[in-house]
Amino acid sequence: MTPRELRQRGVDRPDVILVSGDAYIDSPYCGIAVIGRVLESAGYCVAVIAQPSLDTPDDITALGEPRLFWGISAGCVDSAVANRTALGKPRKSCDFTPGTVNNRRPDRATIMYCNLVRRYFKNTVPLVIGGIEASLRRIAHYDLQSSAIRRSILLDAKADILVYGMGEHAVLQIAHSLREQRDIKSISGTCVLAAEAPAGYRELASYEAVQSDADAFGEMFATFHKTALHQGAPGFFQQHGARFLIHHPPAPMLSSAELDRVHGLPFQHDAHPKCRADGEIRALATIRNSVTTHRGCYGDCSFCAITVHQGRSIISRSMESILSEVKHMASQKGFSGTIRDLGGPTANMYASGCELLSRGTPCQHRHCIGYEGICPKLVHGHGEQVELLARLRALPGVKRIFIASGIRYDLILADGKHGRAYLRQMVAHHVSGQLKIAPEHCADAVLRLMNKPSAAVTARFARLYREMAAAENQHIHLSCYVIAAHPGSTKQHMEEFVRFARSNLQFMPEQVQIFTPTPSTVSTAMYHCGRHPLSGEVVWSEKSSVGKQAQKDTLRAGREMRKETVRSRPAGGRRKKPSGSPWRS
């Protein structure tokens, strides 16, 4: 928002100013936009400052000081991940920055933006930090950039309160409390600092205790991970020097009806003209004609931060809400007829779960899905998804609907009632050239640490997919994501993946990334502690850049070998299989 836009609305001072490390895209895919629209729907005047310069006061002072609070977020991605590769090299491009050159978001963006506000607004209204960077760094955490345990970001940012998780309920309560001049120190879904530990809250080992003791850090993380990430979790406190970080219990989950209302807010599904004028925003091409069906993920992959931020419980929008959004999208000028993605963190978790998940109190003794298999109490949602997709295909103006979010193939295989029908519909109508899956590895020793399905499950799905694609006469393929140098993975394990890809997947993966230790994940705790924080099992991790790159290069060498084999095929004939090769013609 610009000063001119404020004047046009007759506003001399906004109630809330949100500061973001991303260009402003008014879409439910972007957290800042969701928080802004939710506050606006409650009657607050909200302004946004996108990617303010740190070198001058021009951007941060352009709209003046808000009446109630500043809301500060690094953006859709932790700035350490947005700005650095797994090997610590600067990333040159950014999909959320106009012009795509990655030169607008600072390292440790949440901290830097808080410092920027305090530099030009002394004794200002409260600073509220949120978004995934703040959420993952809310307690003492391992930081790859410094290769050390850092204290809660709330202290380093010198903010007044931290909102963790998705944040709608907590932010509204903060706004209401400040408007009514009430205290904001006891709001669910937030962290604050206090001089004393609160009665009835559970103690986590102090920052000083875990800073230089990996075993103590692992025990602290295990306590936090097992008990703090679900509805009904107790409050915690963690001492940092003379002060206490107070981690209040989670805010209530949104209901499906509330999620429908959020997605029914007047999003423009476009970038603000000021941001758009600065250059192409690549993320916009993907999310403009995409639809979110649900939030949350019970996959509980060890390396993934989604569960820590969104929770394990699936909150699905109603079919009518999704249909209404697509109808509106199809009526817009310039709509091509193609929905680029329909899904969520995992596309085929829509409408699935169990009674415990629906209450926000999942089992603590096992994972819902993963290496150990599918929990027998899990209720699949493929039947509802088949119905939803059929209804969407029948809408006027809708030509193609693609599912690009990725799917959990173990869920499809486990659903004897609707799994095959869902996959058949996917193959026939909803795959654009290739279907993305995420086995991540094939060595069962590594998959167990990742909490991913076994290699046998992956091979079984690959066979089924090829058979179904052939039966539907669809020339579509599988593609997959692979992680190199995950804790427990060695170069020999990556060589095993090359053999697995040749014989079972029948293609060599193109998308290989080196494991990045992000705060507050189980895999990061393994990486730092040298053991699994939940089981105590000793886990070796590759920590040298040379060793990490060597694991990634193993798959690259496999791809080059495959290309050489294809080039050796006689003109007009079938390729010759090298002696002993398990590849199929």
Chain-centroid distance, C-alpha 54: 27
Chain-centroid distance, C-alpha 303: 11
Q: Please check whether residue 443 is in contact with residue 494, taking contact to mean a CB–CB distance below 8 angstroms.
A: no
- Of 27, 26, 36, 125, nearest to 73 by C-alpha is 36
- Of 86, 113, 102, nearest to 19 by C-alpha is 113
- What is the distance between the alpha carbons of residues 342 and 93, in angstroms, rounded to a whole number? 26
Using a 10 angstrom Cβ sphere, with 0-12 exposed, 13-18 middle and 19 or more buried, the burial of residue 583 is: middle
Secondary structure letter of residue 161 according to DSSP: E
Sign of CA dihedral 216, 489, 513, 28: negative
Q: Please check whether residue 73 is in contact with residue 133, taking contact to mean a CB–CB distance below 8 angstroms.
A: yes
Whole-angstrom Cα Rg for the chain: 24
301 annotated to a ligand binding site: yes
The position carrying tokens 């995934």 is 132
Q: Please check whether residue 554 is in contact with residue 498, taking contact to mean a CB–CB distance below 8 angstroms.
A: yes
Using a 10 angstrom Cβ sphere, with 0-12 exposed, 13-18 middle and 19 or more buried, the burial of residue 420 is: middle
The position carrying tokens 């995420």 is 438
Chain-centroid distance, C-alpha 523: 15
- What is the distance between the alpha carbons of residues 378 and 353, in angstroms, rounded to a whole number? 5
Q: Please check whether residue 523 is in contact with residue 486, taking contact to mean a CB–CB distance below 8 angstroms.
A: yes
304 annotated to a ligand binding site: yes
Read off the tokens for 167: 């944040």
Which residues are documented as binding site?
297, 301, 304
Which residues are documented as binding site for [4Fe-4S] cluster?
297, 301, 304
